[in-house]
Structure 1
Amino acid sequence: MTRALRAVPAGLDRVDELTAALRAALDGSGPAVLPVAGATAPAPFAAPAPSIAPAPSTAAASTVPDDVAVVVATSGSTGTPRGVMLSAGALRASAQATDARLGGPAQWLLTLPPEHVAGLQVVVRSLLAGTRPVVPAPGNFRPDAFAAATARLTGDRRFVSLVPTQLHRLLDDAAGRAALLTYDAVLLGGAATPPALLSRARDAGAAVVTTYGMSETCGGCVYDGVPLDGVRVRLSADDAVELAGPVLATGYLGRPDLDADAFTFDHDGVRWLRTSDLGRSDGGRLTVLGRADDVLVTGGVKVAPAAVERALAELPGVGEACVVGVPDAEWGQAVVAVVVPRAGRRAPDPAEVRAHVARTLGSPAAPRHVVVVEGLPLRGPGKVDRRAVTDLATARLGRPGRSAGT
C-alpha cells in the first residue's frame, strides 16, 4: 500500500506549518512530508547513469510506501539528489533514544535548517515531547541572535543541535559563549569535530555531546562514540562503518539500485546500512576516521584528510581547517590545508604547520600549501563543502602542477 507525498515549506520562519504537517504524517492522518527550503520540491532524484532508468522527480513521485512519514532530500557528497524515506517508527525510535540518552525531553533551540535531517529531528523531538522549539532571528547564524533566542526559552531543560562552525563562532563571542553554557545538552554533528574545539568547549563548561549519523539513520545515532539504545555498529573487513537498528531508513525514493548497494541483510536477517565512512572501535566506542572517498594519494601514499585536520586543530592559531588535494605534476595530488585563523591569533606559519603535521602523522601528510581564508564554504546544514574548498584552493594556488609555495 502507498500514501500521498506532499512538499511542505520548511524555512525557519514556517516551523509551525511544518510541525502541523509532521504531526499528521506521524499519526497517519495526513500525507507523508517532503520538507523543502522553498515553496517547491527540489530537482529530480535522477539516476546517475543512462543504464539505469531515471527515477521520477519529487513532484511526480506523489506516493510513497504507507509506512513512510518523511522524505528527506539530500545530495550527500556526490551532488546527486536523492530522497531518503523515513518511517514514523524510525523517527520515533530516534527521538526516544535521544531523550533516553540525554536524561529526558527538553525544549529545543532550532538553529539548523529543518529541510535537513538534523534540523528536522529538532522539530520531530519537540513535537513528540509536546514542546515548541524556539527559532533565532532570520538570517545567517550569529552569536548575538543565538543569545537572544536562548533568552526566550521557557523550559526547565534546554537542548540545542549545532555544527562545528557554529560552535566555533559561539566560543569566540562572549555573549554567545555565555548562552551556550546554559544548555543541558549541546548536540554537535554534521561534520568531524576537531579535538581542540571539543576540548575548548568542554573546558569552558559546555555540555557538548558529539553525534554521528546521517539522513539514512534519522540523524545522529551514535553519541560520544556509543550507539543509542537499539542501534548496532560494526566495521566491515575494509573498516567501513556499518549500522543497524530501528532508526534505519526505509530506502531511497524511486532508487532500488541505491537500496541494493546501501542496505544488506546478514545471516540472522538483520538489516545493515553500509556507510561511506571509515572507522575504528576502541573498547566498543566508535571513532570515525573520515570518508573513504576523501582519502588523498600523494606520491603514492594514502593520506586521510580528517587525521590531518585533527593535527592542525592542535595548533593555537587554527580555528577551523579543511584538508584537500589539488592536482600536482610531481606528487599527483598535493595536500593543501585551508585554514581559518582563530579569533585574535595570527595566521599559522606554513613551516610550523608542515613540521607539526610531519611530527604527528609523517612527512607525506604534511601540507605542501597553506591557504588562509576568513571562512570555509559550507553546504546544507553547515557542513564544510569539500568540493568548493578544493576549487578555492586550486584558484588561490594558481595553475595546477606547482609543488612548492604556500
Structure 2
Amino acid sequence: MLSVQSVPIIEATLPVVGERMPAIARNFYHRMLTAHPELFDGLFSRSNQKNGTQQQALAGSVAMFASHLVQNPDSAPEIMLSRIAHKHVSLDIRPEQYDIVYKYLFEAIADELSDVISAEIADAWTEVYWLMAHALIKQETDLYASLASPKALAPWTVTKKETAGTDAITFTLVPADDTPVSASKPGQYVSVTVMMPDGIRQVRQYTLSAGTGTNVRVFTTKLDADGEVSPALHRDVQVGDQLTLSHPCGDVTLSDDDGPLILASAGIGCTPSASILRSLADTGSTREVLVLHAESTLERWALRDQMNADVAHLGDASMQLWLEKPTEDSHAGFMSLDGVTLPANASMYLCGPLPFMRKIRSQALASGVQAKHIHYEVFGPDLWLAGTDAAS
C-alpha cells in the first residue's frame, strides 16, 4: 500500500511528526475554520474545538495510520478506519471535503515543520494522507450505498420527552416525512442536529437506547451543564418539535452469535447496554448476560427501570451495581472486576469515561477475556483507539 520509497521517509520522520502532530492539528483547524467558518454550521462541534478533543483525535488517527503503514505497508488499520467512516457518514461527509482538509492540513504541516520539511518528506506524507483519505472514501461510499435513502439526514418529530434519571431525558421520535430510513442495530447511534440560539446548527451523536425498527427513534441524553447541545435539548426541545437525524451508524453492535455477553458501563455510558438489553428482551434471547454498571447514586442512573426490567425478563441475565453511595444491593465505590466471576468465552461491551474503560479492559484481559472480544464505544472524539491494540 505505502510505496517502497516512502516507507523509510515516513519511518524516519514519524517521531518528529508525531511529536508535533498536536500543534499541526491545532494549526490546521485554525486555518480551515478561519477560511471556512460555515463548517461550524451542522458539521464541526464548537465544544470539541474549544476543549481540544477534536484536535487530539485527528493527531492520534493520522499518527496511528502512518505508524501502521510503516509496520504493515500492505494493509490498513481497518477498525480505526471503520470507526471514522461511520462517524463521517453520520455527519454526511462527502469525498470533495477531503480536498479542503488536504489543503489546510498540509499548509499546517509546512508551517509547523518548516525547520525539517523537504520535497521528499512532503511527498511521502501526502501519500500517507491520500491513502488514508481514499480508504475512508471507499468505506464511506459503501456505507452510503447501504442506506435506505440517498438522503443522509431526515426530519423526525418528537413524540415523547421523559425523565430517565437525574439530569437525563429520553426522547422518542417518529419520521416527519416519507424519507426512507434505515433500521438500526443494537448499539448504534444517530447524529442529532440542534439549532443553537445564535442560529448555528450543532451536531452530536447519541446512542439509540431502544428500538431497532424504522418507525421510531429513541435516544437518551445526560445534561452537561457546561455543554452546548444537551442544555438546548433539555431546555428547548418539546413534544411536537422536529429534529434532524442521520441514519443509524456505528460498528460497535451486538454480535449475531449466541455466546455469553458482558455489558460494562458507567454513567450515561449505559445507553449501549440498554439498547442491547432491550433487543435481547424483545427477541426472547437465551444468551447468558452479565450486566455491570457504575453510578454515583441510584437516582442518577439513567434508564434504571428499563435495564432492570429487561434483565428480569431475560432468562439467563444478572446484574451487579457499583454506587459511590451504596445501597444494600450494590457494591461500594468504583467498579472493579476483582471477585466478579465472568462468563467463559464472553464478548464484552464497554462504554463510559476513558479511565473507567482502560481499567475495566485491563482487568478483563487479566481475567481471560480475549482482546478481540472486547468492544467499546466512546462518546465524542475517540481519544483511545490509537493507543490500544484494537485499532487494526
Fold shared, TM-score > 0.5 on shorter chain: no
More strand by share: 1
Q: Which has the higher contact order (CA 8 A, sep 6+)?
A: 2
- Under a length normalisation based on structure 2, what TM-score does the superposition of the two structures give? 0.29
- Under a length normalisation based on structure 1, what TM-score does the superposition of the two structures give? 0.28
More helix by share: 2
